[in-house]
Amino acid sequence: MTHRPSVRRRPAVVVALAIAAVLATVLSACGGAAGSADTPKVGDELRLGLSRQITGINPHKGGSPDSSGSIVGSIYESLTRIAPDLSVEPGLATAWTSTDPLTWRFTIRTDSKFSDGSPLTADDVVWNFQQLLNPDYKGTSGAPLRKYLKSVTKIDDSTLQFNLSQPALDLPGRLWTIFIVQPVFAQSHNLDNEALGSGPYKLDKLDQENGATLSLNTFYAGTKPAFAHVKYTVLASEAQRVAALRAGEQDLILNLDPLDLAQFKDSDTYDTILGVGTQPLTLAINERKTALRWPTPGSGRR
């Protein structure tokens, strides 16, 4: 697991309500005292300092959680989400079960809508997975899926079946970065700089070098975030981010060197949050490769 320290201005209870939606589980929710005169209130704009330039917001191409990935996770939804305690919780899917080692069934919401008001259907989800499972498709998020997922089929309007080529006991936890786009929009627009999702926010403006602005998706079926607007600003150097936070120009900054956190120690103005990364690292041993042989005693091979 990786640790990504961040710093926010204190106090701000409402920040805790927005972090999960805006940062898509990169940071754990934070608490605090009641808001003050210079602290964001419900309905205000939340300002976040990103540490990397935005490379594009195509949800099928992944993205760094301290840059593009944060924006994508605010605009789009996936079947599942990773909670701050690293448990898997419902997203577009409300429940799931494994009927046998190679078959999973997911129950999905039927009240979800994209930010243009069009319904998000089981057919839309199937279309997204069909694209990602196509080896000729340019969406890089599909590469890991193709190692174990054969197909996704619609059972009915609220049920999807995942057909695997090999068991995946943690399948629900693997789907949190597979975001669902609107098929017609995806085929007629450039997803690198345009967006239509069903998440809590919709894209208002994107400047890949400098940042992005979002506003509430009024059709979002989940719990509404605390902030009506979110402004992302690219501040590539840590010194820039710290200066902007101290000047009151940012409410939350990401990716600080742990060795530099001492400057915020015992501060009545700032809270430091140490977020645990949500991407597990797996060590696998290939037992099927016949070319490898254990050395015989006395052979001198190691």
* Burial of 242 (C-beta count, 10 Å sphere; 0-12/13-18/19+): buried
Indicate the range of 32-41, 80-89, 90-99, 181-190 predicted with least confidence. 32-41
For the chain, give every domain's residue range: 3-77+188-276, 86-181
* C-alpha to C-alpha distance for 241 and 234, rounded to whole angstroms: 9
Whole-number pLDDT of residue 21: 38
* C-alpha to C-alpha distance for 194 and 180, rounded to whole angstroms: 14
Higher-confidence residue of 215 and 295: namely 215
Complete DSSP assignment for 130-174: HHHH-TT---TTHHHHTTTEEEEEEEETTEEEEEESS--TTHHHH
Determine the length of the chain: 302
Higher-confidence residue of 145 and 6: namely 145
pTM recorded for the entire structure: 0.79
Q: Give the pLDDT confidence of 227-273 residue by residue, as tens digits.
A: 999 999 999 999 999 899 888 899 888 888 877 777 777 777 777 66
How many CA atoms does the CB half-sphere of 27 hold within 13 Å?
A: 28
Whole-number pLDDT of residue 14: 33
Q: Which range is most confident: 28-42, 82-96, 141-155?
A: 141-155
Whole-number pLDDT of residue 273: 65
Other C-beta atoms lying within 10 Å of the C-beta of residue 98: 16
Q: Give the pLDDT confidence of 190-199 residue by residue, as tens digits.
A: 999 999 999 9
* C-alpha to C-alpha distance for 80 and 62, rounded to whole angstroms: 16
The CATH T-level fold of domain 86-181 is Dipeptide-binding Protein; domain 1 (3.90.76)
Instruction: Give the pLDDT band of residue 12 (cuts 50, 70, 90).
Output: very low
Helix (H) or strand (E) holding 212: strand 211-216
Helix (H) or strand (E) holding 270: strand 270-276
Q: Give the pLDDT confidence of 37-71 residue by residue, as tens digits.
A: 445 555 589 999 999 999 999 999 988 878 899 99
Instruction: Give the pLDDT band of residue 72 (cuts 50, 70, 90).
Output: very high
Whole-number pLDDT of residue 25: 36
pLDDT beyond 90 at 181: yes
Q: Which range is most confident: 1-5, 20-24, 108-112, 247-251?
A: 108-112
Coil, strand or helix at 128: helix
Instruction: Give the pLDDT band of residue 293 (cuts 50, 70, 90).
Output: low
pLDDT beyond 60 at 275: no
Correct CATH for 3-77+188-276 of 3.40.190.10, 3.40.50.300, 3.40.1280.10, 3.40.30.10: 3.40.190.10
In the structure encoding, which two tokens stand for residue 38, read together? 């210079």
Whole-number pLDDT of residue 27: 32
Between the CA atoms of 275, 279, 285 and 287, what dihedral angle is there, to the nearest 10 degrees?
A: 150
How many CA atoms does the CB half-sphere of 119 hold within 13 Å?
A: 9
Q: Give the pLDDT confidence of 155-178 residue by residue, as tens digits.
A: 999 999 999 999 999 999 999 999
Q: What is the 8-class DSSP label of residue 113?
A: B
Whole-number pLDDT of residue 34: 30
Q: Tell me the mean pLDDT in the region 199-218.
A: 96
Whole-number pLDDT of residue 53: 92
Phi–psi pair at 176, nearest 5 degrees: -70, -20
Instruction: Give the pLDDT band of residue 8 (cuts 50, 70, 90).
Output: low
